[in-house]
Each structure stands twice: as C-alpha cells, then as structure tokens.
Amino acid sequence: MIERQLRPRGIRDERVLEAMFEVPRHEFVPMASIEAAYEDRPLPIGESETISQPYIVAAMTQAARIQPGEKVLEIGAGSGYQAAVLARLGAKVYTVERNFRLAELARARLAGLGYHGIEVIWGDGSEGYAAPAPYDAILVTAAAPRVPEVLKDQLAEGGRMVIPVGDLRHQDLLLIARRGNQFTTRVLDPCQFVPLIGTHGWPEKEGWVQ
C-alpha cells in the first residue's frame, strides 16, 4: 500500500507514510472485506458507510500537517481508521460520528487496539465540537455542500481544515488555512465522499443515492 499506492501518487511526508504503515487497516474493515483491506479503494463498513481509500486518508493527513501534541477534530469517525492515523502522529483526536452504532463500534475497536488520546463523540459533527475548540486541524471525512462557518470559527490561529466540498456525487478536497481572521483556500484533489448529513451539511431527508 505504501510503496505501490501512496508514494507513487505523491505522498511524500515520511511521518504520514510511517503512521499508515503502523496502523493495521485490516482491523478497521468487516471480516468479509479483510482480503481487500490494503487495496486502493474505499470499502463498506456497514450502515451504508465506507472507510476512505488509503490515498485519500494519506492526502488529507499530509495536507493537514499534523504535529505531535496538536488538537485535531475529525468529523465522520466511521471505522475509526483516520482517527488512528492521526493519533499515531501524536495528535489528541476528537472524532464525531452521527451514526450511533458506528460510533460505538469505532470506540470499542480503538480501545481494543490500544489507541490512547482518541475521543469518539456521538453527534452531528457539521456543528463541530465546541467544548475542546479551538483545533489546530479539522478533517471532515464526509462531503459538505459548503464550508460550515462554525467549523472555521473552531480553527485555532494557524489552523488547517481539510474538507470535501461539492455536490452529492463529486467534490473537491479543499485545504483552508487560518491566519487571524483571514482564511485562504487551496483546491487539492477531486474526490467522492459519502454525504455529511446534519445542520450544516445535507438535510436528513434529501434523496441521495450512495
């Protein structure tokens, strides 16, 4: 996965590559997909949700330039894999998941694997998670129709946010950086995420196809 997918596609940050080498991705997928755990694609994790493809996890993590000891918010815990990669880089991770069952599973899995410094919160992450804010980095791992202002507010000075923004089928991965009250935006990769559903995401009842 590291040598055939991540390096050739431009992931250069050795700390990110090492973290992804260390985190056992096969522990984060259902038994039925275990053989495909290290393939270059997203996989189903139940509840109609997916674990992101390795390249996207690497690209988001690299773009966020995580330093040890930083406080990071992830929105869309899913399997807990991205959170584990962030923790492996030495971050204190808060990860929000709207699906109760997935939140419970991710919490149990991460504890079972011995990850410390990850808090799984059940709730609507489109509103962020105010109590521990501000964050050095925010990673949104579900597709948003626009950048929620409330998430920008929860970024620390010098903070970075990586978020897929677009329609339900196609999005651009954006890197937003905060300097004081100025925000700069860079477009990284085209991507396809499952929808961010909630107050500042897509409404619960809109007829999307996954």
Nearer to ligand SAH among residue 48 and residue 182 (C-beta): 48
Nearer to ligand SAH among residue 97 and residue 136 (C-beta): 97
Which of 33, 48, 52, 126 is catalytic? The answer is 52
Rounded to whole angstroms, the Cα distance separating 62 from 56 reads 10
CB of 191 to ligand SAH, least distance (A): 12
CB of 143 to ligand SAH, least distance (A): 9
Q: Is the dihedral of CA 174, 177, 183, 184 positive or negative?
A: negative
> What's the start-to-end Cα distance of the chain, in Å?
26
In 3D space, the residue among 3, 6, 53, 4 whose CA is nearest the CA of residue 25 turns out to be 53
- Residue 33 bears catalytic tag: no
Nearer to ligand SAH among residue 78 and residue 166 (C-beta): 78
DSSP string, 64-108: HT--TT-EEEEE--TTSHHHHHHHHTT-EEEEEES-HHHHHHHHH
CB of 179 to ligand SAH, least distance (A): 27
The helix (H) or strand (E) run that includes residue 49 is: strand 49-51
Question: Which chain residues interact with ligand SAH by CB under 6 A?
Answer: 49-52, 75-76, 78-79, 81-82, 96-99, 102, 124-126, 141-142, 194, 196-198, 201
Q: Name the DSSP class of 52.
A: P
Q: Is the dihedral of CA 157, 160, 163, 165 positive or negative?
A: positive
Which residues are within 8 A (CB) of 35 and not within 5 positions of it... i.e. 6 or more apart? none
CB of 42 to ligand SAH, least distance (A): 8
CB of 193 to ligand SAH, least distance (A): 7
Catalytic residues: 52
